[in-house]
DNA sequence: GTTCTCAATTTGTCTATACATATTAGGACA
DNA sequence: TGTCCTAATATGTATAGACAAATTGAGAAC
């Protein structure tokens, strides 16, 4: 029956420029995001979609698999596909290079290396970075400025065993984050975001009053389980906003 | 030649439990994430992968399309597929329901509605939520507790034009975020994360000293451009960590 | 030397089919 | 009534082939 009803349904059958796969996907996503198909609702079976769109199963399978990959639907054998009920609000957190971020705001970016120290890992480094004691590490402290005002204090620890090239770099002019983004791939990252009151030394570096609320972003990255770097960025609170934007259709 | 070399390559040919598609994907992802194939490197052509894995083009196409969808490679007709160079550190930010989050830490969750007010949108509501003046809105203030200690102050604005059902809900027992997650789909969200010093009233509600650094998470959600809700969550700084984890293989 | 055209190459999409696998509804049987 | 088995069903994975679309390289024409 499918064969007769679809006749010679080539690709350009009722083609309005976009791929059939995309049209089906847009239709289904639209119904889900509009609320027409609420969480828990059963999406039509593959064979039903085959009939409505007069196409083969592989095409609708690609659509549904794709929606399942992005988490918009859940699929269960024998049961069907169901609009998933989102358990968490998940969002894509964009953590750009600080230089790019500052310039994106249309402000002048400044950078100053405050301290650089190569050492064998101490106990605190072991805890922070997750490397063995005495592994060579590079500790960096630097300040990022926006419009000639302190914008962030960066406190970074680099695992030289994983990234020996870091020793050849001149971090007095090149921010370590910029170099890392371009040269060191990672497979896993963890972020912690919290708030703290500026103590006296921190307040001095950031040129704010003691006790000012600051936003703290800590990031650790690994490559296949091996620690790469741990960084702590402290921003004067009122100046800084982390922004995350999410569109599920991505 | 492919036909003879692959002989009867059924699905269970050298199958070690996982799908061939997954094995190919893991192999390629591994090479990219290990740095063996740096950004800009050309991934083998589909026909080359067909030969190495003795499989059909659809199978390797699914792998490469999937990698392109997650942004790990970029594909250009006639040219091939290339490892993309990541522009920003992006991470998946999990923003769970507070109740789930507290219970996930093994602490007792408590909730108290402090104030509820239905009103026609004022000018401040217009700015915060993006609705027209005099649109009906619901303003909620509530406190979330963890282990009998204040954990977050929630200050929420709901667009009743988009979510009229909210009026039927009893938010004195059901936290609005829990109800929204289950009943109201959204298509776009924006998050701002910052730090502030607790002023006197805030310090009183959260039972901390005046001036304590607090973490502020502001979220606005839309459905197809129509504002749904704007919420501001203030957490006593030392108590709260936002956690984001990222594995590109997702 | 420059421009134009055409053919080769690679990805994009789709079809029709096949068998595997998980799950469940319902019937056989105790 | 309760339990086990079986058959039906829907998804998961894979194949071989086909044509479309974009891009590029090389040769032809000027």
Report whether pLDDT(B15) > 90.
no
Mean pLDDT of the region B6-11 = 36
Binned at pLDDT 50, 70 and 90, residue A91 comes out as: low
What are B118's two structure tokens?
A: 């239905």
Binned at pLDDT 50, 70 and 90, residue B2 comes out as: very low
Across chain A, the runs of DSSP E, i.e. the strands, are 42-43, 73-76, 80-83, 88-95, 109-120, 136-146, 149-159, 188-197, 213-223, 226-236, 242-246
Question: Which nucleotide lies nearest residue A76, CA to C1'?
Answer: D11
Please name the residue of chain B whose CA is at the shortest distance from the CA of residue A216: B195
Would you state the pLDDT for residue A31?
Answer: 92
- Residue A50, helix vs strand vs coil: helix
- The CATH number corresponding to A92-245 among 3.40.1410.10, 3.40.50.720, 3.30.300.20, 2.60.34.10 equals 3.40.1410.10
- B195-B198-B203-B206 Cα dihedral, nearest 10 degrees: -10
What is the overall mean pLDDT for chain A?
Answer: 84
Return the bridge partners of A149, or none: A146
Total CB pairs under 8 A between chain A and B: 197
Q: What is the per-residue pLDDT across B155-213, written as a single tens digit (0 to 9) for each?
A: 999 999 999 999 999 999 999 988 887 778 777 778 788 889 999 999 999 999 999 99
Binned at pLDDT 50, 70 and 90, residue A88 comes out as: low
Between these two residues, B193 and A232, which has the higher pLDDT value?
A232
Report whether pLDDT(A2) > 50.
no
Chain A contact present for B174, CB below 8 A: no
Would you state the pLDDT for residue B54?
Answer: 96
Could you say which architecture CATH assigns to the domain A2-83?
Orthogonal Bundle (1.10)
A57 CB below 7 A from strand D atoms: yes
Report whether pLDDT(A218) > 50.
yes
- Nearest-CA residue relative to C1' of C25: A78
- Side-chain half-sphere exposure of B228, counting CA atoms within 13 A: 24
Binned at pLDDT 50, 70 and 90, residue A152 comes out as: very high
Report whether pLDDT(A1) > 90.
no
Chain A contact present for B245, CB below 8 A: yes
Would you state the pLDDT for residue A249?
Answer: 40
Mean pLDDT of the region A234-250 = 64
State whether A192 and B243 contact (CB < 8 Å): yes
Chain A contact present for B85, CB below 8 A: yes
Would you state the pLDDT for residue B14?
Answer: 40
Would you state the pLDDT for residue B130?
Answer: 93
A21-35, A179-193, B62-76, B232-246: range with lowest mean pLDDT: B232-246
Question: Which nucleotide lies nearest residue B53, CA to C1'?
Answer: D14
Terminal CA-CA length for chain A: 36
Q: How far apart are CA A106 and CA B107, in angstroms?
A: 44
Binned at pLDDT 50, 70 and 90, residue B91 comes out as: low
Contacts of A58 by beta carbon, 8 Å cutoff, 6+ apart? B58
Please name the residue of chain B whose CA is at the shortest distance from the CA of residue A218: B243
Would you state the pLDDT for residue B131?
Answer: 93
Would you state the pLDDT for residue B246?
Answer: 58
Q: How far apart are CA A154 and CA A156, in angstroms?
A: 6
Q: How far apart are CA B219 and CA B222, in angstroms?
A: 10
Residue B7 region, left (φ>0) first, then alpha (ψ -120 to 50), else beta?
A: left
Return the bridge partners of B111, or none: B144
A176-180, A228-232, B104-108, B158-162: range with lowest mean pLDDT: B104-108
Supply the DSSP string of chain B, one letter for each residue. Answer: -HHHHHSS--TTTT--SS-HHHHHHHHHHHHHHTTSS-TTPEEPPHHHHHHHHT--HHHHHHHHHHHHHTTSEEEETTTEEEEPPP-SEEEEEEEE-HHHHHHHTT--EEEEEEEEEEEE--HHHHHHH-PPTT-EEEEEEEEEEETTEEEEEEEEEEETTT-GGGGGS-TTTS-HHHHHHHH---SEEEEEEEEEE--HHHHHHHT--TT-EEEEEEEEEEETTEEEEEEEEEEEGGG--EEEEE-TT-
What are B203's two structure tokens?
A: 């310090």
Q: How far apart are CA A216 and CA A153, in angstroms?
A: 10
Would you state the pLDDT for residue B115?
Answer: 96
Contacts of A41 by beta carbon, 8 Å cutoff, 6+ apart? A82, A83
Q: What is the DSSP letter of A11?
A: T
Report whether pLDDT(B249) > 50.
no
Mean pLDDT of the region B214-229 = 87
The domain spans of chain A are 2-83, 92-245
Return the bridge partners of B81, or none: B43, B75
What are B106's two structure tokens?
A: 């093994």
Give the torsion sign (CA, B226, B230, A74, A41): negative
Between these two residues, A92 and B231, which has the higher pLDDT value?
B231
Q: Give the rounded percent of residues in chain A with a pLDDT score beyond 90.
A: 57
């Amino acid at each position: 029956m499918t064969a007769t009803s679809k006749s010679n349904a080539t690709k350009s059958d009722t083609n309005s420029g976009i791929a059939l796969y995309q049209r089906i996907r847009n239709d289904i996503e639209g119904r889900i995001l509009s609320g027409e198909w609420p969480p828990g609702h059963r999406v039509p079976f593959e064979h039903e979609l085959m009939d409505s769109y007069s196409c083969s199963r592989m095409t609708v399978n690609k659509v549904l698999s794709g929606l399942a990959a992005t988490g918009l639907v859940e699929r269960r054998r024998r049961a069907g596909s169901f609009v998933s009920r989102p358990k968490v609000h998940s969002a894509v957190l964009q953590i750009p290079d600080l230089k790019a971020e500052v310039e994106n705001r249309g402000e002048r970016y400044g950078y100053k290396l405050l301290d650089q120290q190569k050492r064998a890992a101490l106990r605190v480094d072991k805890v922070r970075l997750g490397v063995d004691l005495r592994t060579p590490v590079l500790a960096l402290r630097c300040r990022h400025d926006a419009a000639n005002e302190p914008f962030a204090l960066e406190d970074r620890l680099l695992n030289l065993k994983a990234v020996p090239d870091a020793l050849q770099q001149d971090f007095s002019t090149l921010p370590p984050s910029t170099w890392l983004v371009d040269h060191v791939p990672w497979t896993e990252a963890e972020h912690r975001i919290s708030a703290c009151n500026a103590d006296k030394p921190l307040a001095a570096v950031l040129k704010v009053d003691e006790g000012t609320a600051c936003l703290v972003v800590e990031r650790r990255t690994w490559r296949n389980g091996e620690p790469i770097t741990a960084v702590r960025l402290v921003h004067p609170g009122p100046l800084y906003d982390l922004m995350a934007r999410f569109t599920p259709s991505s």
